[in-house]
Structures are given as C-alpha cells and as structure tokens.
Amino acid sequence: MYGELVRKRRQAAVRAAFIRSWNAYKEHAWMQDELKPISGGSKTTFGGWGATLVDSLDALWMMDLRDDFEEAVDAVTQIDFRPEGELNMFETTIRYLGGLLSAYDLTDCKDGRLLEKAIELGDMIYASFDTPNRMPITRWSSIKAAQAAEQTAARNGIIAEMASFSLEFTRLSQLTGDMRYYDAVKRVTSVLSEQQNRTKLPGLWPVGIDVKTPNLMKDNYFSLGAMSDSAYEYLGKTYQLLRGAGDAIQYKKMYERAMDAVVQHLLFRPMTPDNADILVPTQARANSPATVKQDHTLQHLVCFVGGMFALGGRLFQNSTHVDIGRKVTDACVWAYGNAPNGIMPENLEMTPCPSLSGCKYIKPANERHPGFLSVSDARYNLRPEAIESVFYMYRITGDTSYQDVAWEMFQAIDSQTRTPYANAALKDVMRDDGVKEDSMESFWLAETLKYFYLVFSEPGVLSLDEWVFNTEAHPFRLVS
C-alpha cells in the first residue's frame, strides 16, 4: 500500500511538471517550434510547424489531459506542411511523423485527421527518396523540388540520418496499406545489410558515410552515440514492429551482428572510487578489428544503449544482453548520482580498467571529479536517454529500485532546470551557479517527462508487449 501511494505521488509530481511546461508553451509559444523558457519567447528550429505541439500529442493523451489533446489536434490540422527552405528529414520523421502516427494509434485510430496529416507529411518525406539510387536526401530542399531540379543523396552523410526511417515508414504502410513507404526503407535496409560486414569494423557502420554511391565502408570512426544512435536502435524495434514475420529476420540478423561487434569493440569498464560494476559504450577509431582505439568518453546521448540491449535481450531471449543493458544503464545512473549536482553532463571522459572485470581505483593526477577524468561538455540539455534506459530496465526486469533511481534523477533535474515559465537547459552541471540557457527542446515534453511518467505508471500502461517506441518516445501499436 505504501509503495503504491509513493508511486502515485511521484507520478503526480511528474505530471505537474509536464502541465506547467505545456501551459507555458501554450501561453507563450503556441504553434511555434519551441518555447524559450527564460525569456518567455519562442523560436523556430524544425520547419516552423510547431515541433513541441506535434511532439507532445501522445504525452497529453497518456497523462489524461484530454481537453488539451483535443485542442492540440485541432491546431495540428491547421499546420501547412509545405516546406520553405531546407528540411532535416531525420528530425521531421522522428518528431512530426512519429508524433502524428503515435497519437493516431493511441486514440484507437479513430481520428482520421491525424492519419491524413501523417500521410501528407509521409508523402513529403517519401519525395526525399526520389533520387537516382533511391537513397534518401537527408537535407531536402523544397525550392529545388518545386523547380524540378534533381537532388541527390549526400556524399558526406551520417548513418543515423540514412537509417532511421524504418519504424515510421513501416507503421505508415501498416496503417494505410500503401506499401510505397515500406518499400522505400526496404531498399535502404538492403544496402545496410549488404555492407554491414564489409566495413573497417565488421558488424558496425561508421558515423560518416557516402549515401550517394552508396558506400558505408570508408570512414573509420564508430559510435553508438551522436549521429549513429537510432540506426542501431531501430534494428530490434523494426523486428518487433514486424512481429518477427517476413523481412523481420533481416533486422534480427543485423541487430545480432551489430551488438556482437559492440560487445567486442565499443564497451569499457571505467575505474571508479566504488569499483562500480558498470559498462560504458564509447566511440572508437578503427581501420580493422585489430586496430581499435577507444576514446573512453561517455556521451549522454549514448545512454539509450542500456534500454536497447535490454529490449533486444528480451526480444531474442538473450539474457547476456539484458545483463549488459543493466550495466550500461547503471553507468549512466552512476554518472548522475556521482555528478556534483546529481545531473550527468553531456560528455565526460573516464579512466578505463584494463579489462571488463574491474580494477582498483588509483586517483589520476589530473582528474576533474572523482570518476570523471575530464568533462568536455558540461551542459545538460533536458535530455531523455538516461531515464529512457531506466524505464526499459524497470519494465523488463521488474526491479523497483529503478523507480527510486528515477525519482532521484527527476528531483535533481526539475529543481535545477526550473524557470518562472517552465524548464531550461543548464550551461554547466559541474558548477553550483545553475546558469541556464534559454532553450527547451521539444523532447523535454515528448521524451524526458514521458519516460519519467511511465516509470511511475502501472506496467500494463503502454506495455512493451503491445507497443514499440520510436527514437522520440512515440509509441506505435504492435499488430498481429
């Protein structure tokens, strides 16, 4: 009984923080991309279509804010998705298309207006695949399209932007019966699969790629973090969305190849004062499997990897992957708990142990903070990746200690990022001055607060047996 009261009280606190930020957005930045949470202004960051509005739809529904949801849907139907200038197709797909599909799924596919807008946007994104080799243009120009000028995929692209359409386009095909969208990503998946074992680190694709050729084998920098993340995240999740049928087996094979390489080449155990049993996924340069040089950094962005391993372990009955997921999640939890103010910075460097089995702590002479050798980027941008993995670990293992961890994280974040309007990014979490940036990205509402809310929900709410989340935390319904 006590535990249930605590859970509900914590969930109510998260919901209150969401309502506060949402109301500020409504009052000061309605229909704009983002609220400026210090000055009370607004800014355009993703096409000017109301990124926070669309990104927040499903969270409004989940938190039972039905009047706000209906008002938001009415507003979304007024958005003119005709683009002006150049569009980031990756962000357009995960935030806007993902948000529309999720809201449609959550409302039992009853509001056709949401699907109409999803098709309108999906067709625009589909146009970015209209290239000589059918590989997507990741920076698409509406002006060139209007002039019927040929646009080609980038010679200098990044893997996440090429390989992160599969969930959204597969779900759009499932909902509409129009297989064009699925066929578009299937062509990309074939290229990914065909070249996966021919890169300088077989099993992994480098961050930098030539989409135009396409050649995914030239670069020697490998990461699961910035510019790579969702390319790997979507392998197991697309298998899940396809319910393991048909082409799903290709995604399973790609996931297993990639994770085998991650385990072999991209994990290290850091030296910590408490000899914590944790694993950090890092970046590396490699011209072959024999020449891997890790950089021993921990990016906040890479904290999603714990959840990815745990979900993959559950999907493919691999208990080792669930255990790795726990250790990676615990590394990010450790970084939060041991940071001076209880919030992990954007990017830190740690001292590696010689092996994954741990080592005695010997304080490095130039260590910035116990366990943190250096901090190359001390900001906190209201990011969700750590709480995302905490959510997955709680749901997959049932370990309620992750709810306690989540509460500590939430209290630290909310208290230090709060402004008179909403919540703002922090400039330096290693200092006590609490200086903020006038920024509140849409993922604060769409992801960070949503995952906090779901950690304190009943496990049956958006069960991972019935829903799969895209990389912007938008849940898509799993259908037979």
Q: Is the C-alpha dihedral spanning 104, 105, 106, 111 positive or negative?
A: positive
How far is it, in rounded angstroms, from Cα 124 to Cα 411?
41
Residue 229 has what pLDDT? 98
Q: Do 450 and 59 meet the contact criterion of CB atoms below 8 Å apart?
A: yes
Q: Which residues are catalytic?
A: 91, 229, 346, 385
Q: Which helix (H) or strand (E) holds 353?
A: none
How far is it, in rounded angstroms, from Cα 108 to Cα 30?
26
User: Parallel, antiparallel, or unpaired: how do β-strands 221-222 and 284-285 relate?
Assistant: antiparallel
Per-residue pLDDT in tens (0 to 9) along the chain, 480 residues: 669 999 999 999 999 999 999 999 999 999 999 999 999 999 999 999 999 999 999 999 999 999 999 999 999 999 998 877 788 999 999 999 999 999 999 999 999 999 999 999 999 999 999 889 999 998 877 777 777 777 788 888 999 999 999 999 999 999 999 999 999 999 999 999 999 999 999 999 999 999 999 999 999 999 999 999 999 999 999 999 999 999 999 999 999 999 999 999 999 999 999 999 999 999 999 999 999 999 999 999 999 999 999 999 999 999 999 999 999 999 999 999 999 999 999 999 999 999 999 999 999 999 999 999 999 999 999 999 999 999 999 999 999 999 999 999 999 999 999 999 999 999 999 999 999 999 999 999 999 999 999 999 999 999 999 999 999 999 999 998
How far is it, in rounded angstroms, from Cα 218 to Cα 186?
23
Domains of the chain and CATH, by start: 2-477 (1.50.10.10)
Residue 54 has what pLDDT? 99
- Helix/strand/coil percent split, the chain, to 5: 50, 10, 40
Is there a binding annotation on residue 471? yes
How far is it, in rounded angstroms, from Cα 412 to Cα 407?
9
Q: Which of 24, 15, 69, 78 is nearest to 50 (CA)?
A: 78
Q: How many CB atoms lie within 10 A of CB 426?
A: 26
How far is it, in rounded angstroms, from Cα 440 to Cα 37?
6
Angle separating helix axes 248-265 and 229-241, nearest 10 degrees: 140
Question: Burial letters for 209-219: b for 16+ Cβ neighbours within 10 Å, e otherwise?
Answer: bbbbebebbeb
How far is it, in rounded angstroms, from Cα 393 to Cα 326?
7
Query: Which residues, at least 6 apart from 364, have a Cβ–Cβ distance to it below 8 Å?
Result: 351, 373
Q: What is the DSSP letter of 290?
A: G
SS3 sequence of 291-305: HCEECCEEEHHHHHH
360 is written with which tokens? 């005695």
User: End-to-end alpha-carbon separation of the chain, Å?
Assistant: 37
Q: How many CB atoms lie within 10 A of CB 15?
A: 19
How far is it, in rounded angstroms, from Cα 39 to Cα 112?
37
Please indicate, yes or no, whether the overall pTM of this predicted structure exceeds 0.85: yes
Q: What is the Rg, in whole angstroms, of the alpha carbon atoms belonging to the chain? A: 21
206 is written with which tokens? 């480098």
How far is it, in rounded angstroms, from Cα 389 to Cα 377?
21
Q: How many CB atoms lie within 10 A of CB 268?
A: 23
